[in-house]
Amino acid sequence: MHSRAFAFLIIYLLGSASGIKLDGNGYTNILFAINPAVPEDTQLIERIKDMVIESSQYLFKASFKRFYFKEVKILVPSNWSKGQYSRGRTETYDKANIIITEPNPLHGNDPYTQQFDECGAPGEYIHLTPNFLLNDSLIEVYGPRGRVFVHEWAHLRWGVYDEYNEEKPFYLSGNIIEATRCPKTIVGSMIAVSKPHKSCPLDQNTGLPMADCAFYPAMHQNIQASIMYLPSLDFTGFCDKTSHSVEAPNEQNRICNYRSVQEVIDLSGDSKSSVPMETSTPPETKFTVLKRSRRVICLVLDVSGSMSGDRILRQRQAASLFLRRIIEEMSFVGIVTFTHTADILEYLKLIDGETTREALVNSLPSHASGGTNICAGLEKGFEVLRKDNGDTTGDEIIFLTDGESEITCLDRVAQSGAIVQTIALGPSPNAILQHMSEISVTGGKYFVASERLDTNELLDVFASLTTSDGDLTRQTIQLESTGREQMEMACSMGLFLLIKQLEITQPIWLFTKQIHPTS
């Protein structure tokens, strides 16, 4: 029960790395996000850019001119004020592919990628620290930042794994002691760490070097691979079928069934959909630096006749949960209802405490009657969103309807620049509702929720409509949701005690060990 909850918590908080696209040979929609705990430092932004430019050139060479970084977004915290930043739209910390945040106690300044032990599956996110990017002395420890980033990118994008193993640094190949590495042609020396001038003693039981021994590869290697072994060395590629060592006790062999890194990359959709470029150098990377402003939301709620009875009750319950527990402090929220026409129940209000939250809850509709005009509701929602700055770009509409209406305003929705999160309640919503919320139109999500009273689907949808800036102390966490039939069982298993425990031990790193992040 507890391990399952821990794993769910991590996924819920950080989401999955998504949204990256391959446009021809160039990766786009890559999002870096800086945690609000990181002090404002414009040099950090420049170091991110320098790293990406260097890594783009290195990736281009390592992939035989097949891939490079075309477009990158950098999201700075909302509390940064010294620079000139574009306004973020759909970009949030919890959607980031690469997060810049304080060291994880399990890893220190080590760059790592969150993966879940599945070969070829994209990782969740890359974790970098400000110190890794700003402290040049760490280049001697980890290697050039651009190479390190390509190492982590291979984890993130292609689901490959490390070819070293700190727990099993040596193995026997026949009667020969080998260091865990790829390829075996990497040259180096086995040295006693505590006594560098003495040879490594051997364990009589295993025939392998003792724990105090380490393999130190020569810094300059006249070979092509491998980036997934040590990016600090002069490597320019990945181990392929020819150079791969199937005997090495590393994660790549264990998880990928002894296939080489290059074989896994070749099987990816990226490799299958691209061909090498003819140019000798990759095109320049385009950078956009963004800052997310306060969240501005309008609830647009269907109160037509088909929403009467249980539907209007479920709508009010779920919206009340959202207003009381989910929407973040210092956000703006308005409420619109619609039938064949639309009405503004609440203009934008700043969420600044329980009083404001309860006032909005008390404004929620409890009766339904009349026809349905979805576009009237959306237009009135845009009117409310414009009240803060005259624009709707990047603002949100949470749109709940049973969908039994024509929709003729799709172009208007797209032109608004707003994010429309659509919740279809009931068995027969208009199919175009899903298209309205797809990424290509508004960047929103589409949900279908049951109207049955013995399910919590609608509550769960509203509970999921949260964003994070990386400050876990201000974020609502839903560990588990149960319907009426499961409630007594969940309580008897101590779910309440688990929630109380998590309120005390909030930092995420207390639970990441359950997942084993991979560097």
Question: Which DSSP state fits 326?
Answer: I
Q: For residue 204, give the 3-state DSSP assignment.
A: coil
Q: Give me 371's structure tokens.
A: 């026809």
Q: Give me 468's structure tokens.
A: 């994070």
User: What is the residue-wise DSSP string for 94-113?
Assistant: GG-SEEE-SPBTTTBT--EE
Q: Give me 57's structure tokens.
A: 């050139």
Burial class (CB in 10 A: 0-12, 13-18, 19+), 222: exposed
Give the C-alpha distances (Å, rounded to integers) separating 169 from 193, 215, 229: 13, 8, 12
Check if 46 is active-site.
no
- Gap between the Cα atoms of 58 and 231, Å rounded: 11
Catalytic residue among 91, 118, 124, 152: 152
- What is the length of the chain? 519
14 neighbors 124 (Cβ within 8 angstroms): yes
Q: Give me 487's structure tokens.
A: 């409630």
274 neighbors 65 (Cβ within 8 angstroms): no
Task: Using the structure block, give the residue that is written with the tokens 């619609």.
Answer: 338
φ and ψ at residue 75, rounded to 5 degrees = -100, 115
- Gap between the Cα atoms of 82 and 161, Å rounded: 39
519 preceded by a cis bond (ω within 30 of 0): no
Instruction: Please list the active-site residues.
Output: 152
